Structure 1
Amino acid sequence: MGFRKLLSALGIQAPDIETVVENPRVRPGEELRCVVRVRGGGAAVDVERLRLDLVVRAEDHEADGSTAWNHPYPVVTADLGGFRLGAGETVVHEVSLRLPWEMPLTHARGVRLPGARVAVRTELAIDDAVDKGDFDEIEVHALAAQDAVLHAYEELGFRMHEAEVKVDPVPWPSEWADRRTQPYWQEIDLFFPESWNRGREELETILIAREDALDAHPGGSPAVTFVYADLDQRAWTDALEKHVRHCCGMD
């Protein structure tokens, strides 16, 4: 994947930039590898800033619809600084962006999560002209434990609606704060099974992943924790059902 974008504000002989994402399918905790090539134009210039941002679609940043992608939120940034770029010169940067364990997902159970988007954005600034380039969208796939929890919801009859990212200062219950390390979180909205007699009501679930375990917060409730080393689909489904029914006052 890659993009090529001219700094049109600097004229026809402006530098151009190309970013290639080498592994556009990743999981939380992994590294995203990118190669950035900046090619000089007809004259030498001072590049003030070259930066890569890993951005997500944040629900509360988009006021004009559920699929808007106008104000992406950066979750990981690599600042490559400034440098002198000669006429016709090519400068190459190899960049690795480490995804946090709490990275929002775009895919789970092999399918895209409605409303979820993640991309690499490259920013080049010269003489106060800033080119943010185009987005290179990537896929962030679920960890095995996240897939297992969402599989458990499927087994219980829940149906996927959408996923959305929330960013501080959206309120976060104080009793959960010790588990969360990022200023954002992803809510996965699911429709209740018909057999639960909740009509069209939705259950919002927040999955807070760590290196060795996963906290699932259903419906704004305290977490049920799943340890990766103990992954057992049947046991996890039973534990999730018990926890959700208790949180919903149905036990």
Structure 2
Amino acid sequence: MVFKKMLSAFGVGGPSVDTVLTNPNTRPGLTLDGHVNLVGGDAPARIEQVTVSLVTRVEIEGGDSEYAGIMEFHRMPVSGAFELAPKQQLAIPFQLPVPWETPVTDVYGQRLHGMTMGLRTELAVARAVDKTDLDHVAVHPLPIHERILDAFQALGFRFKHADLERGRIHGVQQTLPFYQEIEFFAAPQYAQTVSEVELTFVTGQRGVEVVLECDKRGGFLSAGHDVVGRYAVAHTDAERTDWVQVVDGWLRETTARYGSLRAPGYGAHHGHGRRGPGMGGMVAGAALGVAGGLVAGELIEDAFEGDFGDFGDFGGE
């Protein structure tokens, strides 16, 4: 028995964990339901806690460089301490609320190129190596997101890439330690003034703050610049009849207001490697703490790095 306990301390013959999701597809503001299935090892084990959490890949700026890290941003315990007997089988149900600001990973039935999301299960075992499990999760857009994305596609924008940037957008009520950027190549009718557009949704229970960053083309004697527009819409506006007209109006208003966006308060661009005022000037520093009960900016070990790959894109050629 002493030998078995020693092996268990090194993770040999210890308990195992496997999480099964009822449905890996969800939307912001909904839940992820499932069971954490445990099987006891060769010796009795004291389980200190079982937790589930959402993890994703986030771009992090450090000095003059940028790197990607796996970040845990939402955590919930599903069980407290208990004893797990040898070979005992136990299923623990859970229902994890998905934060409203959770980024979208799948659109039109396809994974957005650049996006990854997983449900991480951690089994904390007393005096032994903790066990973990990772399951892929697909976060689909809410109706208001779908209408706006449909409008971009109808206007002729082509999807380029999506990623998460660590930081906070100035003036936007934000609870997560990062924001999503969905990048598009400019549609032909905007190509004379804009080369790319980055779309950010900051979603809440009542509605969505839509942030547009337009990469404004430079002229023969002038440099290009990024310009930013911010628009608030309610979830109840999703059935508005002409979202194409609304989004077109946002884009034209944003690019036309470039002069006013150079006012003090936007500052220099801190990210993305581009010039002039833009989203980077609106983003606060990267030093983030724990707020609202969420794990803000905790980078987890790279044990899951191999499980996060690219899953294609939508709207590509």
TM norm structure 1: 0.83
Q: Report if the CA contact (8 A) 1:109-1:151 is conserved.
A: no
Task: Give the structure 1 partner of residue 70 of structure 2.
Answer: 72
Task: Give the structure 2 partner of residue 143 of structure 1.
Answer: 142
SS in 2 for 1:243: helix
Partners of 2:186 and 2:236 lie apart in 1 by 29
Q: Report if the CA contact (8 A) 1:192-1:198 is conserved.
A: no
Q: Which stretches in structure 2 are left out of the alignment for 5+ residues?
A: 1-7, 214-226, 259-317
1:185: Cα distance to partner?
1.7
SS in 2 for 1:182: coil
Task: Give the structure 1 partner of residue 169 of structure 2.
Answer: 172
Partners of 2:88 and 2:132 lie apart in 1 by 21
1:8: Cα distance to partner?
9.1
Q: Report if the CA contact (8 A) 1:226-1:236 is conserved.
A: no
Q: Report if the CA contact (8 A) 1:152-1:233 is conserved.
A: no
1:74: Cα distance to partner?
1.7
Q: Report if the CA contact (8 A) 1:40-1:87 is conserved.
A: yes
Partners of 2:108 and 2:9 lie apart in 1 by 42
Alignment of 1:76-91 (within 5 A): 76-79=74-77, 80-91=79-90
Partners of 2:20 and 2:61 lie apart in 1 by 27
Partners of 1:196 and 1:222 lie apart in 2 by 16
Task: Give the structure 1 partner of residue 237 of structure 2.
Answer: 230
Task: Give the structure 2 partner of residue 241 of structure 1.
Answer: 248
SS in 2 for 1:129: coil
1:200: Cα distance to partner?
8.0
Partners of 1:116 and 1:98 lie apart in 2 by 20
Q: More displaced, 207-216 or 231-240?
A: 231-240
Q: Report if the CA contact (8 A) 2:37-2:89 is conserved.
A: yes
SS in 2 for 1:153: helix
Distance 1:165 1:8, change over 3 A: farther
Q: Report if the CA contact (8 A) 2:17-2:132 is conserved.
A: no
Q: Report if the CA contact (8 A) 1:189-1:202 is conserved.
A: yes
SS in 2 for 1:84: strand
Q: Which stretches in structure 1 are left out of the alignment for 5+ residues?
A: 1-6
Task: Give the structure 2 partner of residue 54 of structure 1.
Answer: 54
Task: Give the structure 1 partner of residue 34 of structure 2.
Answer: 34
1:207: Cα distance to partner?
0.8
- Partner AA of 1:244 in structure 2: L
Alignment of 1:9-24 (within 5 A): 9-11=10-12, 13-24=13-24
Structure 1 vs Structure 2: percent identity of aligned residues? 25
**Deviating 4+ runs (over 6 angstroms):** 61-65
Partners of 2:159 and 2:66 lie apart in 1 by 22
1:142: Cα distance to partner?
0.5
Deviations 1:78-121 (A, max 9, x none): 22333211112223211111011111111123322111111111
Q: Report if the CA contact (8 A) 1:56-1:72 is conserved.
A: yes
Q: More displaced, 93-102 or 122-131?
A: 122-131
- Partner AA of 1:76 in structure 2: H
Partners of 2:239 and 2:124 lie apart in 1 by 50
Distance 1:216 1:14, change over 3 A: same
Deviations 1:182-222 (A, max 9, x none): 32221111111133225883211111222232221101634
Q: Report if the CA contact (8 A) 1:26-1:139 is conserved.
A: yes
RMSD: 2.6
Partners of 2:168 and 2:204 lie apart in 1 by 21
- Partner AA of 2:72 in structure 1: P
Task: Give the structure 1 partner of residue 107 of structure 2.
Answer: 108
Task: Give the structure 2 partner of residue 187 of structure 1.
Answer: 181
Q: More displaced, 109-118 or 95-104?
A: 109-118
How many residues align structurally? 234
Task: Give the structure 2 partner of residue 197 of structure 1.
Answer: 191
